[in-house]
């Protein structure tokens, strides 16, 4: 919700979720999409298979619920849980193995 021109406010408990066109099987809540900055949350309630994700911009994320093991193309991986903060560079292909229910807050930005 835009409180003042350019100032947006939301809650982690929002009921305003819509299908995420970039991540099949997930829903998203957009806080703001203003030029090169895009911020919001993604929620996954059921992850029957790993999900591939390649951000077009640098992504910064914090896990709010659940967990995820992110696998990289070289076979290495990292596991994130509630409260963990991470960043993924633009163009890096990752495969997400999500523990549901999962929720993350993210910011995509050009660097």
In the chain, the number of structural domains is 1
In this model, does residue 93 exceed pLDDT 90? yes
Q: What CATH number is given to the structural domain containing 95?
A: 2.60.120.10
Residue 73 domain-assigned (yes or no): yes
Render pLDDT for 8-33 as a digit per residue (tens, 0 to 9).
Answer: 899 988 999 999 888 878 999 999 99
What distance in Å separates the CA atoms of residue 28 and residue 3, rounded to the nearest whole number?
20
* pLDDT of amino acid 75: 95
Residue 55 domain-assigned (yes or no): yes
What distance in Å separates the CA atoms of residue 90 and residue 82, rounded to the nearest whole number?
23
Q: Which domain holds residue 78?
A: 16-109
Render pLDDT for 30-59 as a digit per residue (tens, 0 to 9).
Answer: 999 999 999 999 999 987 799 999 999 999
- Cβ atoms of 93 and 73 closer than 8 Å: yes
- pTM (global) more than 0.85: yes
What distance in Å separates the CA atoms of residue 40 and residue 70, rounded to the nearest whole number?
20
Residue 78 domain-assigned (yes or no): yes
In this model, does residue 64 exceed pLDDT 90? yes
Residue 6 domain-assigned (yes or no): no
């Amino acid at each position: 919700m835009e409180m003042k021109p350019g100032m947006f406010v939301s809650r982690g408990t929002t009921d305003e979720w819509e299908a995420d066109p970039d991540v099949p099987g997930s829903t998203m809540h957009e806080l703001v999409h203003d030029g090169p900055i895009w911020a919001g949350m993604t929620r996954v309630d059921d992850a029957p298979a790993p999900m591939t994700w390649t951000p077009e911009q640098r992504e910064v994320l914090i896990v709010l619920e659940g967990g995820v093991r992110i696998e990289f193309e070289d076979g290495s991986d990292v596991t994130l849980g509630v409260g963990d903060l991470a960043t993924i560079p633009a163009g890096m292909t990752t495969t997400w193995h999500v523990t549901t229910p999962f929720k993350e807050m993210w910011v995509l930005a050009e660097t």
